[in-house]
Amino acid sequence: MQGRWPSGKRCAVGLSFDFDAETIWFRTLRQPFLGQMSRGEYGAREGVPRILELLRRYDLKATFYVPGWTADKYPHLVEQMHAAGHEIGHHGYEHEYVVNKGREVELEVLSKGIESLQRITGAVPKGYRAPAGNAAPHTLELLLDHGFTYDSSLVGGDEPYWIQTPETGRPLLEVPFSWEMTDTSHFLFNYHPYYTGMSSQNKVYEIWQAECDGAFDDGGFLSIVMHPQVIGRRSRMAMLERLIRHLQEREEVWFATHLEVAEAWLAQESVS
Ligand SMILES: [Zn+2]
């Protein structure tokens, strides 16, 4: 396992934040109600500033997957992410599901999302994560057509791996996540539809620390998926900081953006 990651690092940890804001409420769950929308606003008002401050204090780079709508509404926050050197990835336009909508709709959503991010960063994003991990068949093709380096919507492995696009079988690098390492699986509460949520942060810390330790032992990769409106609570930010401190006790842990992980993986493949 030695030599897989840059600078002799033993394992790679990718912190990622899906900045859905209100889109998950008004679009994904079709609940454009003030109460639900304000949950999304919490992510922008409290979550993002706390996350950016934490990353700054520990000198870490992360990946923010941002729907185009969110970038259009909160450009100042996305500008701050970009200016701090974090990766900005594509996450749909309104966090919509485009599975079964056809190639044309998938292309329209992908293009709109790219335009919104490009207005802020000046570049086409290199990474994509489908809203709620629901990757649509044509989008994976379209990512390659638009010069994306990787997808991070699937959960089929621990390490980056190759997938074949559904239509033409072209290779696309997958940088996988997992539901175990996603904050919403544990913390997101809702009445309708009912999500239990409200896990103790001690319970989640126990799971996340064990997963991190396993990745370290394997010399592997681990993606952590968080949402500003969920992880951004004070109690959960304290849990995240505790985890970062645990990981930083080991100098061989490489904190990297998902794009850096993808590029390191590709570089390694090209020499082996
Ligand atoms: Zn999302």
Instruction: Assign residue 134 a region (left: φ > 0; alpha: ψ between -120 and 50; beta: otherwise).
Output: beta
Tokens standing for residue 176: 């996988």
Ligand 1 centroid – CA 188 distance (Å): 12
List pLDDT tens digits, range 22-62: 999 999 999 999 999 999 999 999 999 999 999 999 999 99
Ligand 1 centroid – CA 134 distance (Å): 10
Ligand 1 centroid – CA 20 distance (Å): 5
pLDDT of 106 > 90? The answer is yes
Residue 134 to residue 156: CA distance in whole angstroms? 13
Ligand 1 centroid – CA 255 distance (Å): 22
φ, ψ for residue 14 (rounded to 5)?
Answer: -110, 110
Residue 117 to residue 29: CA distance in whole angstroms? 23
Q: How confident is the model at residue 4 (pLDDT cuts 50, 70, 90)?
A: confident
In this prediction, residues 167-186 reach a mean pLDDT of 97
Ligand 1 centroid – CA 96 distance (Å): 9
Ligand 1 centroid – CA 3 distance (Å): 33
Ligand 1 centroid – CA 162 distance (Å): 23
| Domains of the chain in sequence order | 6-271 (3.20.20.370)
Q: So what's the pLDDT on residue 272?
A: 65
Q: So what's the pLDDT on residue 262?
A: 98
Alpha helices in 96-161 (DSSP H): 103-121, 137-145
Ligand 1 centroid – CA 17 distance (Å): 9
Q: How confident is the model at residue 251 (pLDDT cuts 50, 70, 90)?
A: confident
Ligand 1 centroid – CA 263 distance (Å): 23
Residue 271 to residue 94: CA distance in whole angstroms? 40
